[in-house]
Homo-oligomer: A and B are copies of this chain.
């Protein structure tokens, strides 16, 4: 309890009365006395992990992951499906809601209370669905739960995402940028546990960055902090879909890499990629990783170039922000060890020595689940004031 008081900044009395309330709702369980460090042995409590459930939606540009997590933000049921975010909110959200219904149906705990049809859901006797988190690949006004001018999402601007979920499932819903959820997930259960200042860099179809400042998500004045995909790589003249030249995303984003891989296949520069392209008629960024593993020279050079571009931008951010840790995640982050090596090379070459002295630059340890774990954790944080460090 002293530890909870320290972490929350509440008095011991404040912690005690909140614990009593949470116990009454069936949300915490007592684990008895812990090991003493000298004085009275501490009383151990933890969230009753099966005291309820959270739905976490992690929407990317080309796929959506939906999970039900328990109250430890552990995904219990998880489904994923390909989408195209450009098809607009109606179509994409219909697919998403179907997935939510399916995971709720499949959730083994008290299923009748979780089927998501209004009155039966949400919080009766402390069981049931406690809340929903939705991550979307664009800027979000967190207070209203609406996308704000998302650049690659036609039709989504100001769409009432929160209202849609709250009306259908009758429980509190929080909408945030996808990388913010991923950063929270890494803080909760991944490489960044107990780290205060973290950059979580998603290398996917697009490129974005979740910023953790002193243990909390930093969103900026318009909710678009971390939008690093369109930072300019000086000297590069590649045209980006945003209309500018030399954006990071135009060089190292998954979509750009897939198109460049196809170019290498068609020109014959890459035998490995040409073989894969002949088989399927299209290529994805992941194929580059396979070709690079096979030692295909053109593929290796493309992966290295992407890594150097990411590293150049991160070097600037390291000088500016002096973070304790950078975590790399997203589909493109799985292109293999050469990518990480090239990123590190650029960061160490161009950052000030002092700013990299204590820096840890690593890949996500959550194997693609950072977003849904972060979604679960965010709901617990928003509803019960739990911070990742308190997990």
Residues of A within 8 A of B (CB): 139, 148-149, 151, 196-197, 209, 211, 213-214, 218-228, 230-236, 242, 244, 246, 312-313, 315-317, 319-324, 350, 352-355, 357-359
A350: nearest residue on chain B (CB-CB)? B232
Q: Is the CB of B213 within 8 A of A197?
A: no
Is there contact, CB below 8 Å, between A149 and B222?
A: no
Would you give the shortest CB distance from A307 to chain B, in whole angstroms? 16
Q: Does more than half of chain A's interface fall in helix, strand or loop, or is it mixed?
A: loop
How far is B234's CA from A224's CA once the two chains are assembled, in angstroms? Answer: 24
Q: Find out whether the CB atom of A230 lies under 8 angstroms from the CB atom of B319.
A: yes
Asked if B352 and A230 make an inter-chain contact with CB atoms under 8 angstroms apart, the answer reads yes
| Complex interface: chain B residues within 8 A of A233 (CB) | 234
Residues in B with CB closer than 8 Å to A149 are: 353-354
The complex is assembled from copies of this chain, and their number is 2
A320/B320 in contact, CB under 8 A: yes
**Are B319 and A316 interface neighbours, CB within 8 A?**
no
Task: Report the separation of the CA atoms of residues A221 and B318 in the bound assembly, to the nearest whole angstrom.
Answer: 10
Known contacts A235-B235, A319-B230; decide if A222 and B354 are in contact (CB<8 Å). yes
Residue with the highest number of chain B CB atoms closer than 10 Å, among A223, A231, A359: A231
- Of residues A218, A320, A359, which shows the largest number of chain B Cβ atoms within 10 Å of its Cβ? A320
Evaluate contact between A232 and B232: CB separation under 8 angstroms.
no
**Interchain nearest-CB distance for A138 vs B (Å):** 9
